[in-house]
Structure 1
Amino acid sequence: MPSATKALTIGDQEAGFSTYCQALRRLVADGRDLNAIRRTVCWDYLNRLHTSLPKDYRSPDELIQRFQKEASPAQAD
């Protein structure tokens, strides 16, 4: 797991949620494999949010599956 230079609080991570989702969506769109994605900071922060507040945030693995499904119809064109 990557280590950030500054430990973010849950509040800081919540504030960056949409940014982390955009980064994850971009990694999926770029065709990165799952192991490479799991080594990113955005996956780490999304996983921490899901672990800390599971009712409020989906797991990053679920988000990856959703983004892959969304990208599939576009690739068929």
Structure 2
Amino acid sequence: MSQATFTTSLTIGELEANYALYCKAMRILVLEEKTIHQIRRSVCWHRLECLHQSLPRQYKNPEHLYFLLQRDSNS
């Protein structure tokens, strides 16, 4: 499998503006029962990770979000 590549880099403002979209994409992947390994290769994971690395106090690690979404989908 190939790694996701990006032709344009997004600004932090653009990433923040689409945060809800990345969370929704992650929720869909969790509901589709994708493994964490598969989700780690997704664009939404990389964008959430970028936000977390840039603004760690505002945005949680995507792994934390993954486990929260997985817990919610199991209940």
Regarding TM over 0.5, the answer is: yes
How far, CA to CA, are the matches of 1:45 and 1:3 in structure 2? 12
- Alpha-carbon shift at residue 5 of structure 1 (Å): 1.8
Residues 4-25 of structure 1 show CA distances to partners (whole Å, capped at 9, x for unaligned) of 1211011110000000000000
Q: TM-score normalised to the size of structure 1?
A: 0.91
Deviations 1:33-67 (A, max 9, x none): 11110000000000000011000001100000000
Summarize the alignment of residues 30-49 of structure 1 with structure 2, pairs less than 5 Å apart: 30-49=32-51
Q: Please give the alpha-carbon distance, in whole angstroms, between the structure 2 residues aligned to 1:31 and 1:65.
A: 12
1:8 partner amino acid: L
Q: Of the two, which has the highest radius of gyration?
A: 1
Unaligned runs of 5+ in 1: none
- In structure 1, the residue corresponding to 2:9 is in which secondary structure? coil
Runs of 4 or more off by more than 2 Å in structure 1? none
AA aligned opposite 1:34: I
Unaligned runs of 5+ in 2: none
Q: How many residues align?
A: 73
Aligned CA RMSD, in angstroms, stands at 0.8
What TM-score results when the alignment is normalised by the length of structure 2? Answer: 0.93
1:11 aligns with one of 7, 13, 21 = 13
Letter in 1 for 2:20: S
CA distance in 2, matches of 1:53, 1:62: 15
The alignment-based identity, stated in percent, is 40
